[in-house]
Amino acid sequence: MITIYGSPRSSSGRCFWCLEEIGKTYEAKPLNFKEKDHKSPAYLKINPNGKVPTLTDDDFVIWESIAINFYLAETYKPELLGLDNKQHGLVQQWSLWGITELQPPIIGAFIQLVFVPEERRDNGIIEKAMAKIPGLLKVLNDALEGKSYLVGDDFTLADLNAASIVSLCSEIKFDLTAYKNIQIWLAQISERPAFKKYQKLH
Ligand SMILES: N[C@@H](CCC(=O)N[C@@H](CS)C(=O)NCC(=O)O)C(=O)O
Alpha carbons 51 and 174: distance in angstroms, whole number? 27
pLDDT at 97: 98
Q: Which atom of ligand 1 is nearest to the CA of 14?
A: 19
Distance of alpha carbon 54 from alpha carbon 51, whole angstroms: 8
| Segment 74-105, tens digit of pLDDT | 999 999 999 999 999 999 999 999 999 999 99
14 within ligand 1 shell (Cβ under 6 A): no
Question: Which residue's C-alpha comes closest to atom 20 of ligand 1?
Answer: 64
Which part of the chain is CATH 3.40.30.10? 2-76
In this prediction, residues 48-60 reach a mean pLDDT of 98
Q: Mutate which of 4, 16, 52 to test ligand 1's pocket (most atoms within 8 Å of Cβ)? A: 52
State the closest ligand 1 atom to the C-alpha of 39, by its place in the atom list counted from 1. 17
Atom index in ligand 1 nearest the CA of residue 65 equals 20
% of the chain with per-residue pLDDT over 70: 100
Per-residue pLDDT, 147:
98
In this structure, whether the domain defined by 81-193 belongs to CATH 1.20.1050.10 is answered with yes
Whether the CB of 126 sits within 6 Å of ligand 1: no
CA 11 / ligand 1 centre spacing (Å): 6
Given pLDDT bands bounded at 50, 70 and 90, which one contains residue 51?
very high
- CATH for 2-76, among 3.30.1540.20, 3.40.30.10, 3.90.1150.110, 3.30.565.10? 3.40.30.10
Calculate mean pLDDT across residues 45-55.
Answer: 98
Q: Is the pLDDT of residue 202 over 90?
A: no
Buried b (16+ CB within 10 A) or exposed e, 149-186: ebbbeebbbbbbbbbbbbbbbeebebeeeebebbeebb
What are the residue ranges of CATH 1.20.1050.10 in the chain? 81-193
